[in-house]
Amino acid sequence: MTHANMENNKNSIRIPKQLTFTEPSHLSTFLDANSNVTFLDLHKQQWLEWKMLRYPTKNKSKVDFLAEYYSLSEFAGNFFYYPWRNQLVRIIDQPKFLDVVTNRNKHKITAEEQEVLLTKKIGVVGLSVGRTVSTTIAMEKICGELRVADFDELDLSNLNRIKAPIFDLGELKTTSLSREISEIDPYFELTCYSEGLTANNINDFFSSGSQLDLVIDECDDLGMKVLIRKKAKEMGIPVLMDTSDRGMLDIERYDLDPNLHYFHGRIGDFDPPYTWRPLPEERMGLFSKILDISQLSKRGQHSLTEIGKSISTWPQLASAVVAGGGNCTEVARRILLGEKVPSGRFFMDTETLIANES
């Protein structure tokens, strides 16, 4: 279930609360005391779907299982209360829920692979492209725990690429994400670092409980990008980064090559201490080396010349962010399943693949 790791934030992350009712009067008392709360009972619909999926090749219908369903306790399954929606929902228990949700993964992801993936832990730093990656990971169930870090609040200008409701504007991005994921799957384990990733919490982020198996870097802080790789290299953890221009995806397999230089050697053998912060005059040079501006799209290159003039920061489009989130998730899954995905910078550029006719 989603939970939060908070430091000095004005907002707290509201998560669905699991409630227990053992008698009809207990449920009635709760609803009477909370007259603004609506109750949505999805248990029967979900249980019958689960039962049908267990007999995919047999000539049966949901009607064949009704007698069995009505023999169950009227409080079977679990109740979740969503305070931001003023809604109480009853759903099937976690093992059945997982069976149904991952059913359409088969056999693109085998049952054995799904079991392996549920033991994995992924970290995502930055919740722009990172939000799309996070929700895709949660839907596809390619890990058992997801840790996300971002200190920022959701602004209207973010909604050109972040799928979030206007009701969440002004909320922490971690709050908005945790709500979205918990509405997809209240059982999914999401840990939020709402102060962002810092020198003070980077050890906890990478190794709390047990260490991460993979990190996805989607933050804007150039200094932190370097420190993410420093920690990942020390711990032998692979790093992915989608840049949402020309479908550019960086893969750095520190788990396979402990001598790999950060950003494929684009900043040389530079290896600063965890206390390092780039000076303002260092940032543009670092940015240029990491990205290699000559590899950006023509419109991406032009956009860089407009920062501080007609635009305030690096532009991103929803189409590129959504595609990048999917590509990141697929590569992450392959790495977590032990495939020998190579390090390197790769482009999935539809403008090149589907060029205009001359």
The alpha carbon of residue 195 and the mean position of all alpha carbons in its chain are separated, in whole angstroms, by 17
pLDDT per residue of the chain (358 residues) written in tens, 0 to 9 = 555 554 434 344 568 999 999 999 999 999 999 999 999 999 999 999 999 998 887 788 889 999 999 999 989 999 999 999 999 999 999 999 999 999 999 999 999 999 999 999 999 999 988 999 999 999 999 999 999 999 999 999 999 999 999 999 999 999 999 999 999 999 999 999 999 999 999 999 999 999 999 999 999 999 999 999 999 999 999 999 999 999 999 999 999 999 999 999 999 999 999 999 999 888 888 888 998 889 999 999 999 889 889 988 888 999 999 999 999 999 999 999 999 999 999 999 999 999 998 7
The alpha carbon of residue 285 and the mean position of all alpha carbons in its chain are separated, in whole angstroms, by 30
Measure the CA–CA gap between 261 and 258, rounded to whole angstroms: 9
130 and 216 in contact (C-beta within 8 Å)? yes
Q: What is the pTM of this model?
A: 0.94
Measure the CA–CA gap between 355 and 337, rounded to whole angstroms: 34
Q: DSSP characters for 276-323?
A: ----HHHHHHHHHHHHTGGGS-HHHHHHHHHBTTTBSS----HHHHHH
Tokens read off for 152: 């920022």
Give me the pLDDT at residue 285, please. Answer: 87
Give me the pLDDT at residue 2, please. Answer: 57
CA R_g for the chain = 23
Measure the CA–CA gap between 225 and 246, rounded to whole angstroms: 20
Give me the pLDDT at residue 10, please. Answer: 35
Q: What are phi and psi of 162, to 5 degrees?
A: -105, 125
Give me the pLDDT at residue 247, please. Answer: 95
Tokens read off for 163: 């799928």
**Residue ranges of domains in the chain, CATH in brackets:** 14-104 (no CATH), 109-353 (3.40.50.720)
Measure the CA–CA gap between 40 and 89, rounded to whole angstroms: 5
Strand stretches in the chain, DSSP E: 3-5, 17-19, 38-41, 78-82, 87-91, 121-125, 145-149, 190-193, 214-217, 239-242, 248-252, 344-347
Burial class (CB in 10 A: 0-12, 13-18, 19+), 94: middle
